[in-house]
Structure 1
């Protein structure tokens, strides 16, 4: 077997984050990622995207992280964006939003399922994730930017979600959730941090290589799958 390919499937560029696509892609390639998914929040999409030349041997995928607290409206957004992106993520939180995402097979990843003092997941939702092949996203930025009791609570929630994912064989996707270049971590650093958070080495490896590749395989060939560069995307391309 060849060397695994590593992917960061949740990276936020201007205007959602602080850096341009070019800056994020260049640093991710320097860290030896094979590709990234640009997943700006749905309320912070660029008006247009300029033509970008992808670094050689590196892939940039079109993604989005949907933000909507109303489950009915969320289903509408999923239908609106599904065909125009390679990676469709839902920003979770409440049990109602988590349920809407995990029961919809058109969703690829549910990020941030924790909300307040609850993990946001339970056995019913974990079973729905497995049945609909929706991955649970494990994002490093919130953990790295937290301290004290908040970090302890986040670790507790994460480990509870891990237990459910293992029990019901739910896929995990590990990403930086980077809002700037300073949030990006190399694959080796990401794997080490994941193990600190409770993942086994093989689980962490699968979460940044095999699981993302599975999503790409399921959704490709699609309109946003990019090998040699990033095409010009106008605002209308998201509809």
Structure 2
């Protein structure tokens, strides 16, 4: 069986972060990643250069930051066809709901607050229905200390249980903005066991789920499901399946 191909789709480079895109790519390649997503915040300068860098594939992304659901929907419309990875910075109940109810969103980042995990049964069901992945940010487990780290682990456990129950896609990310904040895939999988994620789940969260997000983006948003796509505004079924 071939070794899994690992991706981290949520990273930030200068001017949004401390390291350049080249530095982030070089470190990610050294640690064993095959591809990374540069998802600078929407209120920062976007990443202009994408493609192959230092033997690693770089995907154009954005992390949308919005003050209310209406503004979020406007940003989704603005960026969806410009990026491979469209993530939403959550934490507000209205933003979380708007993100998981929008099939044009790929990833919901930081859904929780210090007081709650940010997800519930209704939001998890919407995320599953609309194929919006929930991100588990490994940086919080590394940087937080004491009670804040305990709360983060508890919230991750809650969200993982909901993701399992409703078959919500989920991924792991370093959410790094500095090249030395990156951790190797095996280290990330080990960290994920702290909140109950099985090794096979963690492996999939670093390989299969991000690969599907990229594949879906490259197929285009006219793709509905296997064998079904929208052609010139009309839903049609491919008798022979996708080519």
Could you tell me the TM-score, scaled by structure 1's length? 0.89
Corresponding residue number in structure 1 for 2:54: 55
Q: Contact 2:76/2:104 (CA < 8 Å) preserved in 1?
A: yes
SS at match of 2:53: coil
Pair 1:15-2:12 in alignment: no
Corresponding residue number in structure 2 for 1:176: 174
Deviation of residue 52 (structure 1)? Answer: 7.8
Deviation of residue 43 (structure 1)? Answer: 1.1
Question: Superposition RMSD on alpha carbons, in Å?
Answer: 1.4
Deviations 1:165-188 (A, max 9, x none): 010010111010001012100111
Q: Distance in 1 between matches of 2:44 and 2:157?
A: 30
Could you tell me the TM-score, scaled by structure 2's length? 0.87
Unaligned 5+ segments in structure 2 are 221-243
Deviation of residue 198 (structure 1)? Answer: 1.8
The runs of at least 4 aligned residues of structure 1 exceeding 4 Å deviation read 50-53
How many residues align? The count is 220
Corresponding residue number in structure 1 for 2:235: none
Pair 1:86-2:81 in alignment: no
Where do residues 144-183 of structure 1 align in structure 2 (5 Å cutoff)?
144-183=142-181
Q: Contact 2:5/2:34 (CA < 8 Å) preserved in 1?
A: yes
Where do residues 61-100 of structure 1 align in structure 2 (5 Å cutoff)?
61-100=59-98
Higher relative contact order (CA 8 A, sep 6+): 1
Deviation of residue 54 (structure 1)? Answer: 1.2
Pair 1:217-2:227 in alignment: no
SS at match of 1:220: helix
Q: Distance in 1 between matches of 2:127 and 2:50?
A: 36
Q: Contact 2:153/2:194 (CA < 8 Å) preserved in 1?
A: no
SS at match of 1:178: coil
Deviation of residue 49 (structure 1)? Answer: 3.5
Unaligned 5+ segments in structure 1 are 223-239
Where do residues 165-204 of structure 1 align in structure 2 (5 Å cutoff)?
165-204=163-202
Q: Distance in 2 between matches of 1:116 and 1:211?
A: 27
SS at match of 2:17: coil
